Structure 1
Amino acid sequence: MVLFYKVARASEYLAITGFGVPDIKLAKKAWILPGQICKRFSISPENYTFEVQAMSLEKLPFILPAVFTIGPRVDDEECLLRYAKLLSQHDKLSNHVTELVQGVIEGETRVIAASMTMEEIFKGTKSFKQEVFEKVQLELNQFGLIIYNANVKQLVDVRGHEYFSYLGQKTQQEAANQARVDVAEATMKGRIGEKQREGNTLQNAAKIDAETKIYSKQREGEGKKETAKVETEVKIFENKREAEVAEANAVLAMKKAELQKQAKVAEVESVNAVAIREAELQIEVEKRNVAKQTEKLKAEQLSKTTVEYEMKVQEANWEFYRRQKQAEAELYEQQKMAEAKRVAAEAAAFTRQQEADMEIYSKKKEAEGIVAMGEAQGLYLRSLLESLGGNYAAVRDYLMINGGMYRDVARINADAVRGMQPKLSIWNNGGESCEGGAMKEVAGVYRMLPPLLSTVHEQTGMVPPAWLGKLPAASES
């Protein structure tokens, strides 16, 4: 039996398979038993250089030179096992490993480039590199590999598609055109400034004369306007507070829409900026020439027309301001009246709803009470009927006596014959007197019952219950 003791270097691991090892065993040093196979593999990262040919969203081809530093993830034993299995039949610099890494990088790079425009790739190289790095790392995780570093070099044109060279020429030409435009604009500003100074001298002289005449009118109008303004502002202050909240929300929405609009307009303007700028400068030169001639004519008539114009403008502005504030005050009053009516209507509707709900609730509870009382009476009657052995007549008689029906009948009969001359029957049984005896009262009650029952039967037709006794045969007939 021959044993071997093997030790791995600092940047190596031993992968042991065979006898006594279920799958694969990683170690820095170990005894190699007969029937076991030991293979060394390095965990130091390696550089892989590629030139990936990709195509942008606009179907423009380009070459992306890149250098990736890739190695196994040494802090995860499971990743090391995957990497050891990958290198079980190949070296890390073999064509198999290189083609595997290259296939992953090229595939993910092409997918990402196909979803971006050439301008986005060129200007956002950093974000493009980061996205490629993340996508490739996800694929390499299944082989236990990790990207230690990734460098994306300058994008290169594919032969026959010189996009980047034309883009550089465009940038140089735009800079040259901008320089020429700046020179022309500076020359134009010098000439225009000279003429403006001459015109301003004449205009200021006429303006001072006109301002002196209209100053007194302005002060008088301003005094009246300030008085009316203070009175109006007091009335509309509360209305403004409410309107400012809605206005702020509207302004925010408008600003968002405006920013989106500006972003889209900026994209369109960047394409035709040079042509538009040249046209604007030509138009500006023509406008300056026309303005110079116009100013010359206006200076001649300014002193006469300015005073009349300013006075009419002040009068029109004052009238417009007065009508506007009056309309705003009327509108505010109408809004408050409408709001008060709406609140009153809502309060009345709420009151009616509460009353209806209370009535429904009362009826519901009353019905529930009637049902409960009926159930209790039914239970009471069933219990009473069972106690009397199912004798319905006995139950009826008991209820009549317990409910005081005979007492009510006697009272009703007494009320009916009150004031009349009813037939009175007086009787005794003719027996012995029990005066002085203890049973005198009892004997009197028993003597009184037969005549009483006969009298009730004669006057009302009612028959006494079975448990109380029967009437004589003559009385019943």
Structure 2
Amino acid sequence: MVYRIAHADEYLAITGVWIDTVKITKSAWVWPLQRCQRFSIQPEDYSLNLQAMTREKLQFLLPVVFTVGPDVNQRGGAPSRVHHSQESSEDHGDALIKYAMLLAEGDSKSGSGKAHIENIVKGIIEGETRVLVSALTMEEIFTEREEFKKRIFRNIQSELDQFGLKIYNANVKELRDAPNSNYFNSLSQKAHEGAINQARIDVAEAQRRGNVGEAQRVGEQNREIAKINAETAVQKTVRDSEKAQAEATLATRKTQYNRDVSIVQIEANRATEARDEELRRDVEVKRAQTELERLRASDVVKATILKESKQQAADAKNYEEQARSNAAFYSEQKAADAHAYKTRIHAEATYLAAAKQAEADLIRQQKEAAGLSAMAHAYADMSSAFGGPAGLIQYLMIEKGVYTELAKANAEAVRGLNPKMTIWNTGAQAGSEGSGSQGTSMGGMDSIRNVYQMLPPLMSTINDQTGISLPEWAFGKLAHQISDTEVNGTAVTDMSPAIKTTTVAKAK
């Protein structure tokens, strides 16, 4: 068993077992007891020089070239028998089957299938062409060349169909005289002589028309020359007049043009000067507006600083008055209950007076703030011009030299300072080990104790750092009282009802 594959321009013809006639395919397995034959489907050219006779008994030579090959488009198929689970198909009514059988017949008879097919094709072409020519006249063959070609094509194709062949191209060349015949030569001479005689007649007629026309042209030429000379003289006079008029018009227009140019130049210079003055005026206006906004921003900053300083002074004064009233109240309470009541009344009166003064200051500051608010609306436009509040603030601080002043103030603030640090501990860490057990017995009083232990060193630290001394009645006595209650780190539980605490240890 061999697997055979045909080339692109070939087919395989397989015969033998399991195939009724011939199987045409491109590739197939060739089984034992089967025969495979390759054959080409390339068309072949058949050139013939036919000697034919017309209906008028005129013999001539008819050179033709036909391109003939297998008709690969006319295919037919039917399923074949199946043997050993193998499926195949055989082509019936197929042009390729007819062509393959014709090749096989030629191989069996003459040993060459191509020669056999060539003899058949040439015989069909010669026979059909002679039959067709014998039914036509020479004039019909000449005048109806295309129809003659189509009839030859149809007649020959109908005969070639039975062999699976197809005419791909048919070319009929020029007709020629057969041996011992001068028909086409005579026709050619006749046409040649007729053309020569007609040419002579045409030449004579052309010469006659040329002589007459030449004389006419000479006379017309002389008349036209005289007429042209006269018209030229008249036209020269007219042109001279028009030239003088055009020169005068040109001079006038040049004068007008120069005048218009001068006017336009003067107007342009005046417009440029006016535009320059307008731009200068706009620059001055914008410069004045910028200076005004700068002054307004400066006033706003000053007003803000003044407001804050006054607010701080008022708060300090309020705090001082409140502290003074509280000190007087608590000192008089220690002296006597009756005197304390009187002192409290006096302190409340003093507090109310201070509150009234604070309210008056607040109202005054609100009025000042209203004025500043009106000014702030003006600065809002500046803020938009500088891209937002941040841009406005930066502009004002740069304009007023705030950054420089702040740097100087910070330098002066830290100059000569001697900072102190104070660290203190409370609870068991500050006393002896025994204080821890005592603190446990105190329960929830530890938190209160730690707070009061922290106050004396805190007040001392504030005094060291800022120089501010708090009232002695509040913290001085309290520190003294706490120090009196320290007994070797042991918690003291018998104290006044106001404060109960434990030992405190302070470290600086």
The TM-score range, normalised by the shorter chain, is 0.3 to 0.5
Structure 2 length as normaliser, TM-score? 0.36
Q: Highest Rg: 1 or 2?
A: 2
Structure 1 length as normaliser, TM-score? 0.38
